[in-house]
Amino acid sequence: MRNKLLLEFRLNATWDSVESKVLSLLEAFFGTSFSVANQFGSKLKSKLFLGREDEVVVLVRQQPFKDQLSLVTIDIDFGESERPTTSAQTQILTEDIKGAFSDIDAIPSWQQMPMLRLGNTQNFNSYLTTSDDRVVEYAAKSVLFDQRSKFQHVQIVDTIDHGPLLLLDGLVNLAEGDRIPYTHTLMGLDRGLEPEYGDARVLVLGGGDGALLKELLELKRAPRYVTMIDIDATVLDACSEFMPNVCGKYTARRRGDNYNVIVGDAFAEMKRLKEKGDKFDFIFGDLTDTPVLDDDDDKAFSRAVLENALGLLKPSGGRYLTHCNGKNAPEALEAFERLVDERFAGMTRTRYEAFVPSFMEIWVFYELKSD
C-alpha cells in the first residue's frame, strides 16, 4: 500500500526559496535526506527528489500563476511503512510549509488534497466521481461480485457506509441504504402518490437492481400488474444473490401473478407493447444510461426513450417518472428540460430532488404527466 499527498500553494517566491524550504521540512517529516533524481523545465520548473532508497518520491513544481504569484505543487508518494500517516499528521506538514513561507506571504493561499491510498489489493476502484466529476472515496469491506456481462462491467461491493453497492461500468447505481431517498422519491411516495398505484398498470424501463419492482409490489395497495424490462440478466442475477434486501425474491423468480420481468432491449419491447395496443398508468425511466448530457448522441437517446415511452402512457392522467442527474450538473438538467418543453409540450413537467447517500449528492427526478 502506498500513500499520495498533493499540496498546492500560491506564493510570491523564487524557485531557490521554494526548494530549500520545502526540502528541509520534508527531510524532518520523513527523517531521511533527499537527493535530486531529475530536474526539468524553464517556465514550468520541476524537480524530482528521492529519499530512503527511493521509497519516498517527491515532485516539486513551480509555474507562473497570476498577479506576480507562482503556483507551487508538491506531490509526495511514500510507502505505508515509511511513516504511519494520518490526516492530522499531514495537516501538520501543511501548516509547517505555510509557516515556512510566512516571511514571504503572511497568509499564503493553499489547498491540500486528502491523502490517496494506492495499491488496493481488492479489484475495486475506491475513488469514484459525482455527476460533476468531484472525487469521492468509498470504504469497501469486500467485493461480493465482479463480472463483465455482454453489456457492461457489473460489480457489487460491500461498503461500510452504504451496505452492498451496485456499480455499472464504474458508476454508482444503487446501494442498499438508498431505498427511501432514491426509490421512494422516484415513485413519488413522499408526494402522496401511493394510493394511485392501486390497480394501476406499471411499466419499468431498466431498474435491473430490482429495488423499484420490490417497492411497487410491496405497497399496501399494489399495482394490478408491473412489467419490467432490463437488458442485462447478469445484473438481475447478481442483485438477487448479493442484494436480496434491495430486490427481494422478484428478480430471481422473474414472473409472478402480478408482475413479469423481461430480459431484453427496452426499445424492442416497447415496440412490441405498442403493437399490442398496451397503455400504462405509470411508466418509470430507470435505465442505467445517463439520461441526458448535452451532446447529440445522448440527446438522441433521451428523445427516443421519451418518444417510445410516452406513446405507451395513458392519454389522460398517465405519469412518466424518471431520474435524471445530479444537482451539480445543471447543464444536463437544463438539456432534459429543454427536450421535454420543446418536443413534448403536452406534458406537465415537475422537478423533485433528494439527497441519495451512496451518490453522495443531491439527485434530481422528474415527473411528466399527460393532461
**With contact defined as beta carbons under 8 Å apart, do 213 and 226 qualify?**
yes
Encode pLDDT of 218-232 as tens digits.
Answer: 999 999 999 999 999
3.40.50.1460, 3.30.56.10, 3.90.1150.10, 3.30.160.110: CATH of 2-116 = 3.30.160.110
User: Who's near 36: CB < 8 A, 6+ residues apart?
Assistant: 47, 48, 49
Beta pairing, strands 282-286 & 201-206:
parallel
Q: What is the DSSP letter of 157?
A: E
Question: Is the fold of 121-175 the same as that of 176-370?
Answer: no
CATH fold of the domain at 121-175: Spermidine Synthase; Chain: A, domain 2 (2.30.140)
- Say what the pLDDT of residue 291 is: 53
Residue pair 80/91 in contact (Cβ under 8 Å)? The answer is no
The pLDDT value given to residue 246: 96
pLDDT, one tens digit per residue, over 188-225 is 999 999 999 999 999 999 999 999 999 999 999 999 99
Question: What percent of the chain shows pLDDT beyond 70?
Answer: 93
Q: Collect all residues with Cβ–Cβ distance below 8 Å to 180 and sequence separation of at least 6.
A: none
What one-letter code names the amino acid at 167?
Answer: L
Give yes or no for residue 302 having a pLDDT over 90.
Answer: no
Task: Answer yes or no: CATH 3.40.50.300 is held by domain 176-370.
Answer: no
Q: What are 201's three cell numbers?
A: 398498470
Active site residues: 286
Domain ranges of the chain: 2-116, 121-175, 176-370
